[in-house]
Structure formats: C-alpha cells, structure tokens
C-alpha cells in the first residue's frame, strides 16, 4: 500500500513536514509495510514559503525591507530547488503580525516592502514569482509595491503622494516610466483565497479594513480612495481592475499586480499543488492523508486540505483528514472530497497544553485511525460480497 501524507502546518505548533512525519509515525505502527510519501502543503498564505522551499529542496533567503509603517523589518522569501521560482509571502513585509495592535493604521500602511522583496527576486535572476496575498496590514491598492519597483504616484501639483491608502484620494497622475523593465520577462502569479473586488461592500476596505484597525469612518474614506485610484489607473494605465475577482486581496495588492504587471491571480492551493506536482504523485497512491490546524466551513474555501482533496478526487483516491480541531460547518468538507476527518485533541485543555502535546496527539490519533482502517480491510476480506 502506498500512502501520500500532504499537510499544512498546525499553526503555532508544527510546520507541515513535521505534521506529516508524526502522522507517518502513527500509521507505521499499524502499516509498517506501507510505502509513505510526505509532502508539505499551503494555501498561498502563511507557510507558503516554507512549504515550497521544503517541498522543492529550495533555499530560504533572509533580508531587511521597509515595513508597513516605513521602519525596517526583518523579512524572508524563498527560492525553489531549480533556482528559477521565487516564493514570497506579502505578509513577511507588510503583514499585521509586524505591528502591535495599537499601531494598526490602514490609512498609512504601505506595501513598499513587498516590492522590495520582488526586486530582490529579480536581482537573483528568478524568472517566475509566486506572491502570496494574505495577512496584510495594508489598504494601499499595491501602490507601495509599485513605488518600490519604480512607479511614481503624483498629486495635482506633481508631488509624490505619501504612503498609505488614504493618500490615494489625492492621486492625479501615475508615472510608470521608471518601472523595473525586468518585470516584463517574469511570470508573476498572485496566490489568493479570496474573490473580493477592489471596492464596494464586498471590497478590500469594507470586508478587511476593520480587522486592520479601520473605524467605520476610515472604511468609507479608504473605499472612496480606492475607487478614485481605480479610475486613475483606468485612465493612465488602461486597465479596469475595480471589479476583478481577487483585486481586493491583501488590501488591494491584487489590483496593483493586475494594473502594474502582467500577473495572473489564482487560488493559492492550485499554485502550490502545481509546484509540488501533486497530480503526478497521486496517480499511483492508494490513500491520501491531509491535515491542518483547524478544519471548519472556511476550509472548503481554498484552504490546503481542499486543494489536496480536489487533486486526489481527480484520480479517484480516498482522502482522510487528521486535524488539530474541527469547527462549525466542517461537514462541508465531505463535498470537496474529504471522506473522513478526525481531530487530535482528546479533551478540553488550555491552548498552551494543546500545543505542547501536539506531536503526541497527532501520532496517537493517526495510529487509531490506521487501526480502524486495518480492521475495515480485514472485515472486508471476511464478509461476502454485496448482492
């Protein structure tokens, strides 16, 4: 029997490959003769760089870039094993975790550091860039990203705008003459798991602004600024990005990618699956096991286990999920191809205790799941075939 174990991280406790190895350890006690394949997985958000660096035997690059409020911050990005693909998480340069809650301010935060990461990838000669759009502290429509790559955003007096989403309300002209010409020869993909447009009730400001510190008045201001920004982009760049699904991802960075580069926006799980060649691996496995820290109704909307299940289902392979915990709406995962799911926390406990026992819990649960599977196989041999 050949078993593929493809897991996302258990956030706060274990990285993807560690989770997979613990599941393997549990299953091996029951199926020591099985052939196991362990792979990391991610959905384009946090953990994508780690997953693709590990999954392709790549390299993690550490650097310093401009943070969301302008001060330098330590950041990172990855290069795939073939040296051609750069993997970037925008949150590494412009994410909420880089700020204290009292510092949240989408009126002023910038994606400038994200552009610096892209520039670093260009300097290394990468010809393919995967940019994860998630966890942002920004609402600047990707203007800062473009500025770091040579764009200029000017007010009616020809002065450069300051950073942040609020300043876009004063945008009068866009000068792209200084944009890094290397972008034209690079394949750039924006990995996102949201379909929000740039503006409106379902757009970047209204849906995600409050979690970044925006007051109701701020949300209105930011949405109007992005709407004005979109009109200027249409006028000066010839690209209508306001209503494109995914344009509102990462505070409108999705729109910036579409306006200033030839990027395509794709679900992160699809991009990661392609890079890890899951389709190839799943052709000759008997069972696929996946997992993540928490599985609930959101897992059916572009999260890692859903992506794994979709590829497995295309090859008719059964899928089991072993997860940290389950939540409301988890039954929806059956519809996307998860045959059964099991949570690993045996009793209510403090979060610190749960995290400390994560390895033991995963291994024990995996062994029990494997034991039940073994019993089912043996019973199947004894029972007469159905009429």
Whether 45 and 268 have beta carbons less than 8 Å apart is answered as yes
Contacts with 181 (C-beta within 8 Å, 6 or more apart), sequence order? none
**What superfamily in CATH does domain 48-268 come from?**
Glycerate kinase, domain 2 (3.90.1510.10)
CA distance 366 to 322: 7
pLDDT at residue number 84: 95
Segments of the chain assigned to CATH 3.90.1510.10: 48-268
CA distance 90 to 111: 8
pLDDT at residue number 12: 62
Euclidean distance between the first and the last CA atom of the chain, given in angstroms as a whole number: 27
Structurally, what CATH architecture does the domain formed by 2-40+297-382 represent? Answer: 3-Layer(aba) Sandwich (3.40)
Here the tokens at position 63 are 């650097």
Return the bridge partners of 72, or none.
Answer: 66
Is residue 232 helix, strand or coil?
Answer: helix
Contacts with 137 (C-beta within 8 Å, 6 or more apart), sequence order? 68, 94, 95, 96, 98, 99, 104, 106, 109, 212, 251
Low-confidence residues in the chain, pLDDT < 50: none
Scored b (16 or more CB within 10 A) or e, 170-181 reads bbeebeeeebbe
Segments of the chain assigned to CATH 3.40.50.10350: 2-40+297-382
């Amino acid at each position: 029997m050949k078993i593929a174990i493809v897991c996302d991280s258990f956030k706060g406790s274990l990285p993807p490959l560690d989770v997979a190895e613990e599941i393997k350890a549990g299953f091996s006690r029951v199926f020591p003769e099985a052939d196991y394949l362990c792979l990391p997985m991610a959905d384009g958000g946090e953990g994508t760089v780690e997953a693709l660096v590990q999954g392709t035997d790549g390299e993690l690059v550490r650097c310093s870039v401009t943070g969301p409020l302008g001060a330098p911050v330590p950041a990172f990005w990855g290069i795939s094993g073939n040296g051609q693909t750069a993997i970037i998480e925008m949150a590494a340069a412009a994410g909420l975790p880089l700020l204290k809650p009292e510092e949240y301010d989408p009126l002023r935060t910038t994606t400038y550091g994200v552009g610096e990461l892209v520039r670093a990838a260009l300097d290394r000669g990468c010809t393919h860039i995967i940019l994860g759009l998630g966890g942002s502290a920004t609402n600047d429509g990707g203007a800062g990203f473009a500025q770091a790559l040579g764009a200029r955003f000017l007010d009616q007096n020809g002065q450069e705008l300051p950073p942040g989403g609020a300043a876009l309300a004063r945008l009068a002209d866009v000068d792209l003459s200084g944009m890094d010409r290397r972008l034209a020869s690079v394949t750039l993909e924006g990995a996102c798991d949201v379909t929000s447009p740039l503006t409106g009730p379902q757009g970047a400001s209204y849906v995600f602004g409050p979690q970044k510190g925006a007051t109701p008045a701020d949300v209105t201001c930011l949405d109007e600024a992005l709407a004005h920004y979109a009109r200027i982009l249409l006028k000066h760049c010839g690209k209508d990005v306001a209503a494109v699904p995914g344009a509102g991802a990462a505070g409108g960075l999705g729109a910036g990618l579409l306006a200033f580069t030839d990027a395509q926006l794709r679900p992160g799980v699809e991009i990661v699956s392609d890079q890890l060649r899951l389709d190839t691996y799943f052709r000759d496995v008997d069972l696929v096991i996946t997992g993540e820290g928490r599985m609930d109704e959101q897992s059916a909307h572009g999260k890692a286990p859903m992506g794994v299940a979709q590829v497995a289902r295309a090859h008719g392979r059964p899928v089991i999920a072993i997860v940290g915990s389950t939540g409301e709406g988890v039954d929806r995962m059956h519809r996307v191809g998860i045959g059964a799911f099991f949570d690993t926390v045996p009793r209510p406990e403090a979060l610190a205790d749960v995290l400390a026992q994560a390895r033991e819990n995963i291994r024990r649960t995996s062994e029990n799941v494997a034991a039940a599977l073994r019993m089912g196989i043996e019973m199947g041999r004894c029972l007469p075939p159905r009429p």
